[in-house]
Amino acid sequence: MSDTLLLVDDEEGIRKFLGLLLRDMGYSVETAANGDEALSLIQAARPDIVLTDIKMPGMDGIELLRRIKAISPEIEVVMISGHGDMELAIQSLQLEAADFVTKPVNDEILAAALRRVSEKLAMKRQIRSYTENLEEMVREKSARVLELERELAATQVVDAVCRGMHSLGSESFPDGVLNNLPCLMAVHNRDLEVVTCNQLYLERVGDKVGRSSLEAYQAGPGADNPVRRTFETGRGQRGQAIFRDPAGNPLPMEVFTSPVSYREGQVELVLEMALDMSELTRLREELRVAQEKYQDLFEQTPCYIAVRDRDYRIVANNRRFAQDFGEGAGRFCYEAFKHRSAPCPDCSSIQTFEDGVSHPHETVVATRAGRKLHVLSWSAPIRDAKGQVVEVMEMSTDITQIRQLQDHLTSLGLMLGSMSHGVKGMLTALEGGVYRLESGLKRQDLGRIGDAAESVKQLTGRIKTLVLNVLYYAKSRALCQEEADVAEFCTQVAQVVQPKAERDKIVFSLDLGPDLGRFTADLANLSAALVNILENAIDACVADHAKPEHAISFAVRADNGAVQLHISDNGMGMDQETREKALTLFFSSKGLRGTGLGLFIAHDVVAKHGGSMSLESEPGQGTRFFIQLPRTLPAS
């Protein structure tokens, strides 16, 4: 290693002489005659040392020194200065020259100066080399540290995922969320090993932690596998796959994978979720059964059910509802249920929409056929996922029959109550009759005996009528159907009444029209009804003291479809109030001997036959009853 040296002097003799000297010292030497030449040579082949004269024409040594330091500051420059150029020499030192020698050049001094420069150069080289080595080492070490840090980070991520899955899966978590999902979960690393898994995975597939990711799959290691594919493609997979349980049985699953990467482009972990198909199928089946049950309930309940929204539109209804009110979908509830054109003012569903509570409601509705029904409705709220009431279900039970029964019982009670006075009167009179009979027998008073007997007979007759009427009213009445000749039937009725009329000195006449034909009726009840009316006429005549003579006429006419009966008397008649009440339960004209129930029941019997009954009357003048009956009973 010989340092290269460039000698710059404008004198050729010096160049030759110093050149030889320097070569002898062991340097390889180049020479230049001026600054410019020197600079070119420096560009071409960088010398280690430059030895330059200061005083030169053109570019002087100082200038050259500046230039060299500007372009290659590592080149050491030694100046040759003339005797007495001390200032220049010092200046050059300030400009980073390494040393200077004065002319005439002493070869030992020059050698020494150059030696010092060479040593300096050698030291610099060494330092450079050490520095480069050091930098190289640091780079290597840093890379290694980074590598280790990444590995640490990876381990920490895996640990965190494991802990997370564990805590989700463990009982300490409030709902054991992960365990309650019908979902197997596992985490796999790049070596296709199972890092961690959830409880369900453990149960269904077995403990695969630390083992090959592919063991869980029925198809085996060689086959296509969603976990491996995720690592290879870097993308999540979804599809069906068959797992195996610890016994080796196949478990069909729907598999979802998700890549987890924390280094660019590198999938470090794969999250695998498998949904048990059989679990899904089982849940679907449960849902289907529940839906069917609900549907059954909806249809089979013996109630009308209609579900309506806030705009009064029916969104669903059951079959029973459709039968009586028509299909509801899309119709307004008030139109379908009540044939109204506007919402009902007392709607209980509106209340339920507001307060979310069921409300009962009794109302009268009309079927498609126009039949009126009494219903009891309950409005139940139907909520959405947020708990808001979005629809109301109305369940209505037909209570028409119950109400009718109730009305019937009420009126029975009323009737019995209103009758009690009359009944008590009759019982007292009966007691009186018996007393008089006994006392007559004691006294052997035939007149009294006869009177009493007659009295008792009449009273028992009245009591009988009363009791039968009450029984008639109280029991369920299905009409018997019998066919009869109209004229014969009416004659029989007249025969019952005739003797009573005669006894009270009333002229009774039966007037049968032509071609009366035959008819079908409940003969027993109808005859009792007609007798009731006729007896009422007798009583009216008896109670009338204004006229000397009384007459009752019973006239019968018929045409194709119906039979008409007219019963008229010239008895005491009825004023307006009595007339209005005559056919109700509350008719009780106390002057008459009856209890008032007779006309009510007569009217009821006629109505059940599909017929009609009305009356006209003037107080003091008389009363006329009009009864119309169809030839056949109406279909029930």
Partner 1 sequence: MAKKILIVDDDASIRDYLTTLFEDNGYAARSAGSGADALKMLEQDAPDLITLDIEMPEMTGPWFSRTVAKGGTYDRIPVIVITGHAGLQYVIPKAVASLTKPFDQAELLRIVRETIGQ
Closer CB to partner 1, 226 or 440, in the complex = 440
590 sits near partner 1 (criterion: CB under 8 A): yes
Q: Which of 111, 275, 329, 429 binds partner 1 (CB under 8 A)?
A: 429
Give the total residue count for the chain. 636
Name residue 477's beta-bridge partners.
none
CB of 592 to partner 1, least distance (A): 10
Provide the minimum distance between the beta carbon of 459 and partner 1 in the complex, in angstroms, as a whole number.
6
Among 448, 557, 579, 581, binds partner 1 (CB under 8 A): 448
Q: How far apart, in whole angstroms, are the C-alpha atoms of residue 454 and residue 476?
A: 35
The residue among 313, 320, 359, 364 whose CA lies nearest residue 338 is 364
Quick one: tokens of 632?
A: 């056949």
- Of 134-142, 335-343, 426-434, 609-617, which part binds partner 1 (CB under 8 A)? 426-434
DSSP labels for 169-212? HSTTSTT-HHHHSSEEEEEEETTSBEEEE-HHHHHHT---TTSB
Report the alpha-carbon distance of residue 266 to residue 302 in Å, rounded: 67
Alpha carbons 581 and 575: distance in angstroms, whole number: 10
**With respect to partner 1, which residue has the nearer C-beta, 57 or 447?**
447
What dihedral angle (degrees, nearest 10) is formed by the CA atoms of 469, 474, 479, 485?
0
Least CB distance to partner 1 at residue 470 (A): 17
Q: Applying CB under 8 A, which of residues 3, 107, 254, 451 lies at the interface with partner 1?
A: 451
In the chain, the largest separation of any two C-alpha atoms, in whole Å, equals 207
Select the residue interacting with partner 1 from 368, 421, 457, 464 (CB under 8 A): 421
240 contacts partner 1 (rule: CB under 8 A): no
* Binding-site string for partner 1 from residue 53 to residue 72, where x marks contact by CB under 8 A and - marks none: --------------------
**3-state secondary structure string across 291-336:** HHHHHHHHHHCCCEEEEEECCCEEEEECHHHHHHHCCCCCCEHHHH
Specify the stretch interacting with partner 1 by CB under 8 A; choose among 15-23, 163-171, 433-441, 598-606: 433-441
> Closest distance between partner 1 and the C-beta of residue 545, in Å?
10
Q: Is 457 in the site for partner 1 (CB under 8 A)?
A: no
Residue 422 binding partner 1, by CB under 8 A: yes
Q: Mind giving me the DSSP string for 19-86?
A: HHHHHHHT-EEEEESSHHHHHHHHHHS--SEEEEES--SSS-HHHHHHHHHHH-TTSEEEEEE-TT-H
Number of residues that bind partner 1 (CB under 8 A): 24
**Smaller CB distance to partner 1: residue 13 or 447?**
447
Q: Which stretch binds partner 1 (CB under 8 A): 8-16, 178-186, 239-247, 453-461?
A: 453-461
Position 436 contacts partner 1 (CB under 8 A): yes
Q: By CB under 8 A, is residue 439 in contact with partner 1?
A: yes
**Cβ contact 497:508 at 8 Å:** yes
The footprint of partner 1 (CB under 8 A) covers 420-425, 427-433, 435-436, 439, 448, 451, 455, 458-459, 589-591
